[in-house]
Amino acid sequence: MRSDRGSRGVRKRWSDLTRPQRAVIVAAGVFEAVAKVAMLIDLRRRPAEQIRGPKQLWAATALVNTAGLAQVGYFVVGRKRES
């Protein structure tokens, strides 16, 4: 009898997941890591006047956030459009 609990009362182990479920989790992790690295590289190279808000704050959100939302937000809102 398992005592591990998730949102539905049963927590699955990696070995309990189907192959497609594992693939989705791995793909999401890879996307999140690539987006985080791309954001941090862009932040490093881009001048501060081309970014909305402090660069350090954007970098901190990238390092703290693990859902990829900070990276999407940075590329959509955080960078100023070139005129």
Task: Provide mean pLDDT across the span 54-60.
Answer: 92
- pLDDT, tens digit, for every residue of 2-15? 555 556 668 889 99
Q: What is the mean pLDDT of the chain?
A: 85
Q: Is the pTM of this model over 0.85?
A: no
The single-letter DSSP state of residue 13 is: P
19-47 pLDDT, tens digit each: 999 999 999 999 989 999 999 999 999 99
**Where are the domains positioned within the chain?**
14-78
Q: How far apart are CA 31 and CA 28, in angstroms?
A: 5
Report the DSSP beta bridge partners of residue 51.
79
